[in-house]
Amino acid sequence: MAAEETLRKPQELYRESLKTIILRILAEKPRHGYEIIKRIEEVTRGRWRPAAGTLYPLLEQMVREGLIEVERVESEGVKGGKRVIYALTGKGWKTLIELLEKKIPAKIDMMIYYFAETCILLRLKGYREEAEKLCSQLRNGIEKLSMAVERNCELDVLKW
């Protein structure tokens, strides 16, 4: 973790992670707030569902920052008759790229620390079988990631 990140408040780091996830989700297509919440729940396989009280203030902040824009679309069954749809701006796309470029090295370093180096510790403390299981899961994850990078980074057009 960079020195400047250790000086930041935990809620700022949390909001930045949520901001990155929102930008990534809106990169797929414009969405309304509930769709964003459902998509976060989907991509985290049900492990996380941000509260509306967390999401909507952040969306408003992102609009003020110029990262996303709002479109009000006629919609039946919605209070006021209009649904608020959020979409990335050019600045939002650039910010998403910058955030991901910053996060890749840090995430890789953390994965090495948590998983690969833990295998060494497990073996040293007599947990050889558990170390082998963890390393096997890590190898499988690396293989899946490698295949996804090769497959997705070579495509000219992604299909959503």
- What total of structural domains would you count in the chain? 2
Buried b (16+ CB within 10 A) or exposed e, 53-78: eebeebbeebeeeebbbeeeeeeeee
- The reply to whether 159 falls in a domain is no
Rounded to the nearest integer, the mean pLDDT of the chain is 84
- Which residue, 88, 120, 143, sits at the end of a domain? 88
- Which residue, 42, 59, 88, sits at the end of a domain? 88
Coil, strand or helix at 72: strand
Q: Which one is predicted more confidently, 111 or 124?
A: 124
- Residue 77's pLDDT band (cuts 50, 70, 90): low
Residues 66 and 112 in one domain: no
Q: Which one is predicted more confidently, 19 or 1?
A: 19
- The reply to whether 38 falls in a domain is yes
**Could you read off the pLDDT of 114-152 as tens digits, one per residue?**
888 898 999 999 999 999 999 999 899 889 888 888 887
How far apart are the C-alpha atoms of 112 and 117, rounded to whole Å? 6
Helical H runs in the chain? 3-6, 10-28, 33-43, 52-64, 90-111, 117-124, 128-153
Tokens for 61, please give them. Answer: 């902040």
pTM (two decimals): 0.70
- Which residue, 64, 88, 112, sits at the end of a domain? 88
Domain that holds residue 16: 3-88
